[in-house]
Structure 1
């Protein structure tokens, strides 16, 4: 994931909301100057024929989508639809013309076609604007552009061009307004009646209106012997009759709802349907309440038998430095050549204090972009290895992830496949360690990524931007110490040489972190990659000490544990968001990882201390069950004091489900298993968006996550996402321009979501979100089959 100041396009500081009260906006009803004024030389302007590529031209419905804004720091401002025009208020104009802009994408410009550009524009002060039609990403080739003079009264402009280049399936019409173009002291620019006409273009019919059911269920299904609940959006304050029907015909169960009432997180008045007693195995059931019918669902024991593998396949698909090939890719459309083979020699970024290059090839791409980050890899690797250790020590499903179980190239090497996948990232993390003889030897470089942000619709092997190592950090160093120590005990008998290598790296990293305890990644390091900044690494010290103690039993690490303020800690609220949202672990808050490892993996602590560790986990689970009962949609997650959902809210929930699952392991109490089941219900469709947040699962699955290669929505030559990728989900921050332009201002927390590839703040996918999805899918599959 990213924190609140970064994303896969976070070089852009983006705002889109209503203009401030009293903002001095130009009057769109003022008389226009005589026109139209030509904006460029080119072919003769064709008569307007209604063949407009733009999906929103007049803003009469009060929204701007798919028009969005882009501000590149230090430029800043905001936009809104005002009086039927799209207006951009520039507070800081930045340095370059493109530092402040509005743009329209989602269109194809074709070779040999002639295009007419028409629009009306004005500004609160005289200034210049540069409209252009061209590529939406590097190298930003332009097919037409002009610089025009705006006045305070509306003017009409028009021009034309013939497309002489190859078809561009991801073209954009943009208006650059920053830098030397903008007026001094702030200015507002308005656009209206915008056309990009092609006489040969015929707009497709609008997609049919989809009416989502008011009866919300887990769209994958329910286990026969476990809790089964659904939510109904309904206004009455009295119980309502419900029934379950099979294939739209046979009625198989009946009952009445329980009124929950107003639910602030969803902004709805809801009822709860409890059909736990219905245990008849079957497919294509529907739940009906007062004339409303749910999506179909199944009742069966093997609900997640495929999901537990698809969620792990996500990591193979996002491997860097190796071909993604058949048969492992699943389908030919997901196969691709190796990406970023240039990572075999990556230099330190200029001005960062080192002059060497390292082979940092391999590893997983972090999210929708092509960056690789140690701290996000750290919690992801831990989760994957913790899944293995939990199954080995207290579970019953180790064989499900043994050699030959995953579709990966290493599935015939005699090693459990889940370990092979984790090792692919571990090998990369080891390469990020500063070599001997260099300043801060033993520390770990924080990240490696492109010099600048890349655009959507880019296969890894086609990316050619310069890449740089960013400086070491204490957080990254301790992540390696923890992961490598964990690996050393796991591979001790499987590959003694690798175990020895990882333990040496772990202890070297620990010593380097002790010598450099406050080297932090700067929050401003967000050009081409997220900063992943963290200025409190006391939790990483605790986590690393726990893993090193379990593996070595050394007194040094036990002392570090017992002296830590995080000793036995399992937080119940997350510091990451600053809002106190309920969660126990994030990439930035890792103390629970150490406590969980001590509670699960045999170690030298006496049994009373291990029991106390387990009690800490259970206490957090009890808190989450209390939250579940207080939430209308019955999920063990809530927003903090701000009442807003954070970026990646689904990952917070998934990590909470891990806590509940472990508590069931430790106590055997059904209530914790039930809580985990209900949390997964939310992820798979029992939510106010009626959205399965996992690709390929449910009647309304995730379709358009933010991803460079799974970019079919912007360019049909790229594939859709394979099954098993989980979206970060609702985010009240609306950090991306698409989400801001989608009319979501003031959204109820659980409704701050849109399934669109441009909505990186809402619909990002990442390794540290898919790892707990894989963990909990495996756990529930194990328990559901009993």
Structure 2
């Protein structure tokens, strides 16, 4: 850790040191702290560096303006008020030339300007002086929108936190720009008979790599990135998203071996894994690899993997600027699709080890999604005809790792504009809305199932946002999406955010091994009543019961576990709402019911 000081160059009466926690060639990671002796009601901070900084991606603050060496950031709408002694930390990642970090200090605008306070550098990276006149006004979190609405919650900030959750789920050898300080290399020897299977994401609060939900999460995230690219750009998250979505795609390429007609679909024994409570860095149990091939069919997981790689091709061709990687994804997706078509069947019919965790109900929905993504990637109408043929018509129960129907319907409608897909999309969304067949909690959450109700509601909100962007009942569907995401972020009985790290009140004891264990010891007590020592920023916990009740307990894996597929649609919905705000198309938010 470096403590960086620039003394005497600031115009205000005091300056504090920026703390840098990690650096690499071309960038560094750091934070500053606000620890006021008086309450802050809105704040604006200047970061001053000794060399040009090209870009800053920041959490819990928003960039207002910058020169090459001075960046001005201000509070989000939810963190304008900071109480004395709060020790409020703002993390950021900066890109700068050279192999050493920029040295820097920071000060709160207004402090010392009136001559009423002298202040000094704290030496510990904590600014203790409040602004003399408010330090800037609280922001609304977004531009004024049609209908006079602004964002009630800052969806861009929530979006950035969600990206960090997926970074915290990384398996394998971590890159030098790893933004999660409490995570290190893990499971670097994952493989089978010398074939490298390292990488990918851990599934949830455990350390198994289940490829069916992982590949679903991947293509859903890709869909939101492609659909609402401007949201990521406006939120300053495009580069972070490019890094994040590449991680599972590189792993999927390792899993598919075309010349052996073999696709690896799981790494780790779910039963043995669930018997271990500790950090992934400390795992020492065997991690077997499971595969499908011409003798053990698995078109469901193969189809989702094709969808992930074909959508990834579009991302790295059109957004992230890596044509070679894009081409490799498309080639793998094409050959894997042929394998899937020729080897129909559910992977859990032969990979029985996965059945108790992610048992599949069929493969047609995944094959339809795979085919329509390949059509979007190539323009080949043969894939479009396949997508139509595989599509299971009707109203989907949900949108999740085992049911891609309505996602395929959205993609098919975008291409064809055919009424049958529109009808299935409308029927799906309306069953989740008030008056539909899906129950609602008293405070307004669509309660599809006790396992991950936040996930089901957020995924429905994502489909509603996609449909609204495609012109289907836009005002009505946007308001429904707003109602669900706002509930998750605070419009609920407890007035907490179910996304960890968003705002000041959020779950502190998620059912997640890595975040629950200290980094400086091999011991870890899952029964401890203390808060998790590592904040799992961005993780979406399962959620409340049907009466809006929720307890923050680590041992409650129904209400308090996190998972990649919990966050995927949630993040897409955040991107959709932020997109509507950026384009002045966000309607007034529905009133909170609690």
**For this structure pair, what is the TM-score category when the shorter chain's length is used for normalisation?**
0.5 to 0.7
Q: Say if 2:266 and 2:289, in contact at 8 Å, map to a contact too.
A: yes
Match of 1:553 in 2: 379
Q: By percentage of residues, which structure has more helix?
A: 2
Q: Say if 2:210 and 2:265, in contact at 8 Å, map to a contact too.
A: yes
Three-state SS of the structure 2 residue aligned to 1:380 is helix
* CA-CA distance at 1:698 after TM superposition: 4.5
Q: Say if 1:368 and 1:764, in contact at 8 Å, map to a contact too.
A: yes
**Partners in 1 of 2:553 and 2:276 — Cα distance?**
12
User: Are 2:454 and 1:646 aligned?
Assistant: no
Match of 1:682 in 2: 487
Three-state SS of the structure 2 residue aligned to 1:757 is coil
Aligned in 2, Cα 1:623/1:761: closer, same or farther, shift over 3 Å?
Answer: closer
Aligned in 2, Cα 1:492/1:723: closer, same or farther, shift over 3 Å?
Answer: closer
Q: Deviations over 1:175-219 (max 9, x none)?
A: xxxxxxxxxxxxxxxxxxxxxxxxxxxxxxxxxxxxxxxxxxxxx
Q: Say if 2:542 and 2:562, in contact at 8 Å, map to a contact too.
A: yes
Q: Say if 2:441 and 2:547, in contact at 8 Å, map to a contact too.
A: no
Aligned length: 423
Aligned in 2, Cα 1:632/1:503: closer, same or farther, shift over 3 Å?
Answer: closer
TM-score, normalization by structure 2 = 0.64
User: Are 2:185 and 1:338 aligned?
Assistant: yes
* CA-CA distance at 1:324 after TM superposition: 7.3
Q: Say if 1:457 and 1:718, in contact at 8 Å, map to a contact too.
A: no
Three-state SS of the structure 2 residue aligned to 1:309 is helix
Match of 1:781 in 2: 578
**Partners in 1 of 2:178 and 2:388 — Cα distance?**
49
Q: Deviations over 1:72-113 (max 9, x none)?
A: xxxxxxxxxxxxxxxxxxxxxxxxxxxxxxxxxxxxxxxxxx
User: Are 2:500 and 1:695 aligned?
Assistant: yes
Equivalent of 1:446 in 265, 273, 289: 265
Q: Deviations over 1:143-179 (max 9, x none)?
A: xxxxxxxxxxxxxxxxxxxxxxxxxxxxxxxxxxxxx
Three-state SS of the structure 2 residue aligned to 1:725 is coil
Aligned in 2, Cα 1:391/1:519: closer, same or farther, shift over 3 Å?
Answer: closer
Equivalent positions of 1:224-623 (< 5 A) are 303-323=154-174, 328-329=179-180, 334-343=181-190, 346-347=191-192, 356-392=193-229, 396-400=230-234, 405-406=236-237, 416-436=239-259, 438=260, 441=261, 443-450=262-269, 452-454=272-274, 457-472=277-292, 473-492=298-317, 494-522=321-349, 525-526=352-353, 531-566=357-392, 571-572=395-396, 574=397, 583=398, 585-600=399-414, 603=415, 605=416, 608-609=417-418, 613-614=421-422, 616-623=424-431
Three-state SS of the structure 2 residue aligned to 1:695 is coil
Three-state SS of the structure 2 residue aligned to 1:471 is strand
Equivalent of 1:711 in 501, 516, 522: 516
* CA-CA distance at 1:691 after TM superposition: 4.5
Match of 1:294 in 2: none
Q: By percentage of residues, which structure has more strand?
A: 1
Aligned in 2, Cα 1:450/1:565: closer, same or farther, shift over 3 Å?
Answer: closer
Match of 1:658 in 2: 462
Equivalent of 2:432 in 624, 630, 633: 624
Q: Say if 2:207 and 2:273, in contact at 8 Å, map to a contact too.
A: no
* CA-CA distance at 1:632 after TM superposition: 5.5
Match of 2:4 in 1: none
Match of 1:48 in 2: none
Three-state SS of the structure 1 residue aligned to 2:273 is coil
**Partners in 1 of 2:385 and 2:285 — Cα distance?**
46
Three-state SS of the structure 2 residue aligned to 1:445 is strand
Larger radius of gyration: 1
Aligned in 2, Cα 1:616/1:525: closer, same or farther, shift over 3 Å?
Answer: closer
Aligned in 2, Cα 1:545/1:690: closer, same or farther, shift over 3 Å?
Answer: same
Equivalent positions of 1:713-728 (< 5 A) are 714=526, 719-728=533-542
Q: Deviations over 1:447-499 (max 9, x none)?
A: 11147125565222111111111132322111111111222233335333222
**Partners in 2 of 1:492 and 1:312 — Cα distance?**
21
* CA-CA distance at 1:622 after TM superposition: 3.5
Unaligned runs of 5+ in 1: 1-219, 221-245, 248-280, 285-298, 348-355, 407-414, 575-582, 640-644, 732-748
Q: What value does the CA root-mean-square deviation take over the aligned residues? A: 3.4
Aligned in 2, Cα 1:325/1:368: closer, same or farther, shift over 3 Å?
Answer: farther
Equivalent positions of 1:123-272 (< 5 A) are none
Q: Say if 1:370 and 1:450, in contact at 8 Å, map to a contact too.
A: no
Q: Say if 1:635 and 1:678, in contact at 8 Å, map to a contact too.
A: yes
Equivalent positions of 1:28-177 (< 5 A) are none
Aligned in 2, Cα 1:448/1:633: closer, same or farther, shift over 3 Å?
Answer: same
Q: Say if 1:302 and 1:781, in contact at 8 Å, map to a contact too.
A: no
Q: Say if 1:445 and 1:476, in contact at 8 Å, map to a contact too.
A: no
* CA-CA distance at 1:614 after TM superposition: 4.6
Q: Say if 2:542 and 2:566, in contact at 8 Å, map to a contact too.
A: yes
Three-state SS of the structure 2 residue aligned to 1:758 is coil
* CA-CA distance at 1:666 after TM superposition: 2.7
